């Protein structure tokens, strides 16, 4: 059975094309970001659902979930909206390709990817946010 640490470590060990800095296992989400390190990736908000295993219910693996966040560029940096949009869409494709390879838990990985915004140290960033779930 997968542990919380293994789940987060497997997600943090991804190497999506275009990501310059990954905040891996053992580091918290960043307190600040350096523009030279963008795009930067981290895993946040891990959680799991466990079902009590009884004779009647059968054996069920826990379901793990987390958010993968990639801060792309500061919103107020002066980058054109079109360029910021294109950069986030490109990273969405790159994350999808990396997620096809990584196996965060034993089975049933599924995810949603969306453009969004993330605030780090009072600065808003264009971001790609992945909500991922896997069992086992």
pTM score of the predicted model: 0.85
For the stretch 50-101, pLDDT in tens is 666 656 555 667 888 889 999 999 998 666 788 889 999 999 999 999 988 8
Q: In this structure, what token pair is assigned to residue 5?
A: 């640490």
* Extended beta strands in 61-106, E state: 63-74
Number of domains in the chain: 1
> How many Cα neighbours within 13 Å face the side chain of 68?
32
CATH of the domain at 60: 3.30.2000
Look up the domain containing 61 and give its range: 4-135
pLDDT at 53: 60
53, two tokens: 């295993």
CA distance 40 to 15: 11
Taking Cα atoms as reference points, which of 19, 38, 13, 27 lies closest to residue 101? 13
pLDDT in tens, 26-62: 677 899 999 999 999 999 877 767 666 656 555 667 8
């Amino acid at each position: 059975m997968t542990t919380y640490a293994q789940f987060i470590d497997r997600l943090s060990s991804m190497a999506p094309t275009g990501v310059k800095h990954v905040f891996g296992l053992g580091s918290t989400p960043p307190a600040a970001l350096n523009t030279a390190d963008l795009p930067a990736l981290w895993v946040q908000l891990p959680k799991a659902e466990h079902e009590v295993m009884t004779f009647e219910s059968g054996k069920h693996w826990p379901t793990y979930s987390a958010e993968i966040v990639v801060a792309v560029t500061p919103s107020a940096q002066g980058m054109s909206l079109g360029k910021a949009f294109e950069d986030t869409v490109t990273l969405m494709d790159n994350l999808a390709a990396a997620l096809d390879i990584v196996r965060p838990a034993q089975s049933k990985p599924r995810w949603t990817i969306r453009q969004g915004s993330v605030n780090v140290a009072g600065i808003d960033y264009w971001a790609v946010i992945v909500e991922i779930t896997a069992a086992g």
